[in-house]
A and B are shown apart, each in its own frame.
Chain A
Amino acid sequence: MLFNSLSFAVFFPTVFIAYYLVPSRFKNVLLLIASCFFYMMFVPKYILILFALITADFYLAQALEKREGLQRKLFLAVSVVANLGTLIFFRYFNFLNENIALLAHVIHWNYSPLLLSIALPLGLSFHVFQSLSYVIEVYRKKYVSEKNYLTYALYVMFFPQLVAGPIERPQHLLPQLNTVHTFDASLARRGLERMLWGFFKKLVIADQLAQIINPLYANLPQESLTLIAIAILFSYQLYCDFSGYSDIAIGSAMMLGYSLSENFNRPYASRSVGEFWRRWHMSLSNWLRDYLYYPLALGFGKVSKGRLYISLFVTFVLIGLWHGANWTFAVFGAMQGIYLIVGSVTEKARKKLHAVLRLEKVQTLHHFFQTLVVFCLISLSFIFFRSETVEKAWWFITTMVSSFHSGFGVRALLSTLTAHTGNIVFYIVILSIILMEVFQYMQETKKTFYFLDARPRALRYGWYYLLASFILMFGYFGAQSFIYFQF
């Protein structure tokens, strides 16, 4: 079930009302049934895979908790293999086979690949990572295993974050599932506000941008300025799509009394690529930092700069591949790794340059320049993220650079960008992006999402009405799925 569907508009209010009406002991049962229903609206049979993993991890965590040494490690290994094996089978089997076949062709080895025609279970990468996080935390003795199967199943299947995160840690979500939640009007209002904000980002910005960008990506123009505009707009589409989803997930959980982890924090305001990854898809980058990068970089043997860089690079290539079985994602991840390594290697030199040029005197301008550079670097890497093939992404970048001399036709640019949606929708989207950036700036300055709570009620309600009217009037209500659902 999509958050932006009529079914969710019926489903969520029903669950919300039923949740606060049923006796406390049935609340988790209700949420689990609702979550199963939510998941089964996509491909019903895949729920069996989900329950198989839930059951395996539930018992393996309990088993390893009671053991030490090799046996403990063995149970962990079984869980890791079961989870990653499922993920690799569904997501990377064809990709690996195709690449083996390609390699075989080069070395003249007669290999005919077996390609499976199976759909990827929805949100598999998310709940595999969430399950692994639980088993690893129990293994590391940082969390005591959950003894109630139903509670653990709900930890993996909690519908607001089931298909696209945020990827929760057991320490954060499981205790909440063992707490009785009574209705809290102010929390429900905040949750609704958060959902409204998420729908605004998703329906007014991301989905309308998709109407502009998708046809252009299918038939790429050859003008430099148009390609630059497409790259920039896609960065906003991706951000609003995924962060919009996260806002709806956090908001709907909040209405039910739960707190989910934040996933985004104004990433395009970052002044370094490192900072960007601390603000973008935080639950994934934190997961990979804790369970992959740290063990690789610091886990065994001698720590050296070279090893840190290799670990960083490997982690980011895997972050890239986590998004999909395509070399475009690997290149996207590799670019992040290279940005970070170059950033680290040149740090001292840049600091010296900063002092020599006395950039502290023009700090605002300097910060703006840094933000701009980071945004450009990230947008450049998103070209690989969006393109179907590496060749297409490369063509995009080389044409963007090589046709620069052909001049800037602003009128032609606008006519291309507005061709599929018309002028008004395009300008509304641009206005909405500006509105979003200003609102997020205010949130960051006031250090809270709910800074309007301290403002007069008229202003607050005016803001709600503005968002709701924009959604109703300018939202895209076709069936536009969330980009991160495919992951």
Chain B
Amino acid sequence: MLLFLRKIILFSLPLSLLFVFPALVVYFGREYVSASDVVEIQKKFPKTLMSFAYNPTSFVPYKIALVQDKNPTIVALGTSRVFQIRKEFFIDPDSFANAGGAGRSLDDITYFVQQLPSDTKVKVIILGLDNETLFEKFESKHFRVEEPFAVRSFDMIALTSRRMYLDYLAHKFNLSQLRHASASTTNVGLVALINGDGFRPDGSYKYTQSESNQRLQEDVQADIQKTVKELQVKSLQSEDPRYKELATNMQKLSVVLDMCKKRGITVIGFTPPYPKAIYNSMIDKGGFEKDLLVTVPLQLQTLFSEHGDQFFDLSLVDTFKGNEHEFVDAVHGSDVMYLRMMIYMASNSSTLKGLVDVEHLKKMLANTQGAFLPF
């Protein structure tokens, strides 16, 4: 039997060569860096962006580490549709941290609030309530805690190596490009190193690739058309299960608002905007999609008012004088669009008025050309 086992080991040796390339990608791409180390690096080198391609760590541990480290008074929380709220929108930029991505589900939002230390300085949470947050059932528990270094490395090298090879074959990156980027910047993660996209030290996301994309508008239109087409597919289910999920999530949201109230935190909720074509398709489709835009905001309005909080329905860009050309894809607005949203919300919110200089933001908007802010 020993001979047999020896043969198996010898047979496996050449196969292990397959993992040399993934190991190099992990190393040069700084994909192995832990969430807390990212925060430290960003503190030391404020221009550092972070965006992993293969590291299984989700945004949650990074955003929690960031908030714990900065101990801000204002936090943006929600899905990727709050990524664009920047520290520069606030009178005291250092009082803000963007925890977008750490609130993908109501369970995540609850977990995030629970994680805030007892002596937290957080006074305002700007909560983006994405449609997915309201009706999808995410099994997100396992995303909240970062795996130890050894497990993360094994997951990346052994289990995601195929994706690395596929990305390499699709010319998304090459090793010399990665080595060069790694030597010339402090960015962390392959996406940040190769594309220049990633989380800034305030937790907001910089879309460098979209900023430099000459065909951005065409790409966005294609993305919108694809989404519209998907919306046109008729559901075969007689009873939409999302209503049940929505009801549960509304109850969970009420609990979170209670929890915040007890801790002296004001919550300003908003629903992020859709391109008009998608908005209209949702209305035309009727059923749950229409309810998400028509009746759900009313329910949210009532719920927030009951807790003494404020809610803004920004699903339609016209509400805040948004520009259709300020989308970076079918669902994400650019930072300029979010600047417009902030001006609108701050003009109509007594809480935000003290934290945001609306006139300054209006000047910022007037001085900006195109869909992206210069920082």
Binding site for B on A (CB under 8 A): 17, 20, 183, 185, 188-189, 192, 219-222, 391-392, 395, 422, 424-425, 461, 464-465, 468-469, 472-475, 477
Contacts and interface: CB of A to CB of B under 8 A. Distances in A.
A392 B4 CA distance: 52
Contacts of A472: 15, 18, 161-162
Interface in B16-48: 18
A340 to B, nearest CB: 30
Contacts, number: 47
A219 B166 CA distance: 27
Interface residues of B, number: 21
Nearest to A183: B1
A189 B4 contact: yes
Interface of B: 1, 3-5, 8, 11, 14-15, 18, 159, 161-162, 165-166, 169-170, 230, 233-236
Given A220-B236, A424-B166, A424-B169, A185 B3 contact: yes
Contact of B166 (A17, A391, A425, A475): A425
A469 B18 CA distance: 8
Contacts of A189: 4
B6 to A, nearest CB: 11
Contacts of A185: 1, 3-4
Contact of A465 (B14, B170, B235, B236): B14
Contacts of A395: 236
18 contacts: A17-B1, A17-B5, A20-B1, A183-B4, A185-B3, A220-B233, A221-B233, A222-B234, A391-B236, A392-B236, A395-B236, A422-B170, A469-B18, A472-B18, A473-B161, A473-B162, A474-B162, A475-B162
A109 B205 CA distance: 61
A473 B159 CA distance: 9
Nearest to B230: A219
A464 B170 CA distance: 27
Contacts of A183: 1, 4
A472 B159 CA distance: 8
A464 B11 contact: yes
A392 B238 CA distance: 11
Contacts of B235: 219
Contacts of A422: 166, 170
Given A188-B4, A424-B169, A474-B162, 13 more contacts: A17-B5, A20-B1, A183-B4, A185-B3, A219-B233, A220-B233, A222-B233, A391-B236, A464-B11, A465-B15, A472-B18, A473-B18, A477-B159
Contacts of B4: 183, 185, 188-189
Given A221-B233, A422-B166, A477-B159, A469 B15 contact: yes
